[in-house]
């Protein structure tokens, strides 16, 4: 009986060892890790190259539309961590090619904007929300650029903006036959409003171009408002 009992106990011990959490398992290698790294590096270099070409060979607003799109595409394909790595990589690459100042002008706001747009598109947020958030970030980026360039040049570039807005508001007052000079508060509010309006139009065009482009790349963004779809179908 002892021999039989010992034979019965051996399989039970083997089963207990097999089910033990201390049993060594073979490490699993993520197959998509090299692809994630290659695509992140490629799209980060693409964003840097678009900024580089547009800086030395400006082609109008064409290339400017695609400044944040490659980093947003990284977010759609590989998530938040890869998008931040792409933003950091593009900034470091531009710092080597063009210097740290011009690299900062790209990172703030366009690299951050790529991460923001990628996050909103990934979560299927409506265009109203994503454009509004992008407009706020773009407006902050304009003031950051004015501050940085004013600091480096030793001149207050905000005064130049105020002078331009003063001429515009004065022309509007003249056309409306308003016999009054605009106040300082009105001029500054008008400058901020024009900067915000410019970023609003820019973000709308970025969304429109990304909607047409990323659908063909297999990474669609949320659908635009109904009137935009009707307009595009009509055209």
Residue 20 lies in a domain: no
Rounded to 5 degrees, φ, ψ at 120 are -70, -40
Q: What's the mean per-residue pLDDT of the chain? A: 85
- Please, are residues 186 and 166 in contact by the beta-carbon 8 Å criterion? no
Q: How far apart are CA 135 and CA 160, in angstroms?
A: 22
pLDDT for 30 equals 62
Q: What percent of the chain has pLDDT over 90?
A: 59
pLDDT for 28 equals 46
- Please, are residues 98 and 90 in contact by the beta-carbon 8 Å criterion? no
Residue 83 lies in a domain: yes
88-110 confidence digits (pLDDT tens): 999 999 999 999 999 999 999 99
Residue 18 lies in a domain: no
pLDDT for 18 equals 45
Q: Please list the alpha-helical segments (H only) found in the chain.
A: 2-18, 33-56, 61-64, 69-78, 80-98, 100-106, 112-122, 127-153, 157-175, 184-214, 226-234
Residue 23 lies in a domain: no
- Residue identified by tokens 């509007």 is 172
User: Does the pTM exceed 0.85?
Assistant: no
Residue 52 lies in a domain: yes
Structure tokens at 232: 């595009």
Higher pLDDT, 208 or 9: 208
Residue 16 lies in a domain: no
Q: What would the mean pLDDT of 185-200 be, rounded to a whole number?
A: 92
Residue 22 lies in a domain: no
Please give the DSSP secondary-structure letter assigned to residue 217: T
Structure tokens at 36: 């994630």
The number of distinct structural domains making up the chain is 1
Higher pLDDT, 33 or 152: 152
pLDDT for 32 equals 78
Residue 29 lies in a domain: no
Q: How far apart are CA 88 and CA 86, in angstroms?
A: 5
Higher pLDDT, 141 or 182: 141
In this model, does residue 54 exceed pLDDT 70?
yes
Q: What would the mean pLDDT of 199-204 be, rounded to a whole number?
A: 96
Q: Which domain holds residue 224?
A: 36-234
CATH number of the CATH domain containing 196: 1.10.1760
Torsion of CA 148, 149, 152, 155, to 10 degrees: -120
């Amino acid at each position: 009986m002892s021999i039989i009992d010992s034979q019965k106990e051996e399989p039970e011990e083997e089963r207990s060892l097999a089910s033990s959490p201390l049993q060594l398992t073979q490490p699993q290698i993520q197959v998509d890790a090299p692809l994630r790294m290659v695509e992140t590096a490629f799209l980060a270099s693409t964003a840097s190259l678009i900024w580089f070409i547009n800086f030395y060979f400006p082609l109008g607003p064409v290339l400017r539309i695609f400044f944040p799109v490659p980093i947003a595409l990284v977010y759609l394909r590989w998530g938040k961590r890869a998008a931040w790595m792409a933003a950091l990589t593009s900034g470091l690459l531009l710092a080597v090619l063009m210097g740290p100042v011009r690299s900062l002008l790209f990172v703030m706001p366009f690299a951050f904007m790529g991460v923001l747009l990628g996050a909103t598109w990934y979560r299927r947020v409506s265009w109203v929300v994503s454009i509004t958030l992008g407009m706020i970030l773009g407006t902050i980026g304009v003031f950051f650029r004015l501050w940085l360039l004013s600091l480096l040049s030793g001149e207050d570039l905000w005064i130049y903006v105020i002078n331009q807005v003063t001429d515009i508001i004065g022309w509007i007052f003249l056309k409306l036959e308003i016999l009054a000079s605009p106040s300082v508060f009105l001029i500054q509010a008008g400058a901020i409003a024009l900067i915000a309006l410019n970023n609003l139009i820019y973000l709308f065009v970025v969304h429109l171009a990304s909607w047409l482009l990323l659908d063909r790349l297999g990474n669609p963004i949320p659908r635009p408002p109904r009137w935009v779809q009707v307009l595009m179908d009509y055209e």
